[in-house]
């Protein structure tokens, strides 16, 4: 498709300017760029495939409805994750208290898909999954706000500046909290050491 090639060279910000004028193709490209990132963010923030899919849709509905509010001088990813972050906060408020951690049974019966690629070693996949579940079990104990900081940094690889804008925290606070979170993880996961890179 010609338009896809043409649109794929445009920046997020340029595409968003087109969405503001009602361009459905520009929205399609933005959706394709960010859907996986948002899905995994929501799944880790809120748990559950269905919730994550609903939230993904909700995020883009907000994007369409509030397109006029987007300032093209600002980074698109920051704006988008700001919507996603606020949706998570609302969802947390709604739930108030939720189940804090996944058990091994939850994990084995979870809706998290194993990789489709059959050449992937199943043992490796399960080890990886246990490791990540251990990470998130610890993150759950730290609370949703810290978990979101961790995800925005380690999963979404956003800059400290962007995270500060999204969360409304000072950059110094973001830095110190990120360090604190990672230090705690290091301490608590010391016994759990999958080290897949080691022979």
Partner 1 sequence: MNNVKTPKACLQIQKDIVLGAYLSYSTNKALKEHLKTCPACRAFAELQANIKDRLTAEQSAQSPPERTLKQLHLHLADRLQERNATAWRRLRQLLAFRMRFDHAMAAVIVVICFVWGLGRLHTIYPPKSAKPIKYHADQSVIETAQATLLLRAAAEQKLGRPISEDSLYSRFTFTM
Among 15, 45, 56, 84, binds partner 1 (CB under 8 A): 56
Contacts 24+ apart (CB under 8 A), 155-164: 155/40, 155/41, 155/44, 156/37, 156/41, 156/81, 158/77, 158/78, 158/81, 162/75, 162/77, 162/78, 162/81
Q: How far is CA 147 from CA 40, 61, 88, 100, 122, in A?
A: 13, 25, 11, 12, 28
Rank residues 13 and 23 by Cβ distance to partner 1 and give the closer one: 23
Among 15, 16, 27, 149, binds partner 1 (CB under 8 A): 27
Q: Which DSSP symbol is given to 68? A: G
Among 4, 6, 14, 57, binds partner 1 (CB under 8 A): 57
Stretch that binds partner 1, among 24-32, 73-81, 83-91, 97-105 (CB under 8 A): 24-32
At its nearest, how many Å lie between partner 1 and the CB of residue 12?
Answer: 16
Binding mask 85-124 for partner 1 (x = CB under 8 A): ----------------------------x-xx--------
Contact 135, 44 (CB under 8 A): no
Q: Which DSSP symbol is given to 110? A: S
Q: Which DSSP symbol is given to 111? A: S
Query: Segment 121-150, which members bind partner 1 (CB under 8 A)?
Result: 128, 131-132, 135
As given in the structure block, the two tokens for residue 176 are: 């110190």
Among 97, 119, 187, 199, binds partner 1 (CB under 8 A): 187
Contacts with partner 1 by CB under 8 A lie at: 19, 22, 24, 27-28, 31, 35-37, 39-40, 43, 53, 56-57, 60-61, 64-65, 113, 115-116, 128, 131-132, 135, 153-155, 157, 159-160, 175, 178-179, 182-183, 185-190, 193-197
């Amino acid at each position: 498709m010609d338009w896809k090639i043409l649109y794929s060279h445009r920046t997020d910000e340029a595409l968003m300017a087109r969405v503001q004028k009602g361009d459905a193709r520009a929205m399609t490209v933005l959706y394709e760029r960010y859907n996986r990132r948002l899905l995994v963010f929501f799944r880790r923030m809120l748990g559950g495939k269905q919730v994550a899919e609903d939230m993904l849709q909700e995020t883009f509905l907000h994007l369409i409805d509030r397109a006029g509010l987007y300032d093209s001088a600002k980074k698109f990813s920051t704006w988008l994750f700001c919507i996603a972050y606020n949706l998570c906060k609302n969802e947390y408020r709604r739930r108030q208290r939720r189940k804090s951690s996944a058990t091994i049974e939850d994990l084995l019966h979870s809706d998290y898909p194993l990789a489709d690629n059959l050449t992937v070693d199943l043992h490796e996949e399960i080890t990886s999954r246990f490791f990540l579940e251990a990470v998130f079990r610890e993150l759950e104990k730290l609370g949703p706000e810290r978990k979101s900081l961790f995800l925005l940094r380690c999963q979404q690889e956003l800059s400290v500046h962007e995270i500060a804008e999204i969360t409304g925290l000072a950059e110094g606070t973001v830095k110190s909290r990120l360090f604190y979170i990672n230090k705690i993880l290091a301490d608590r996961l010391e016994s759990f050491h999958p080290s897949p890179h080691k022979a």
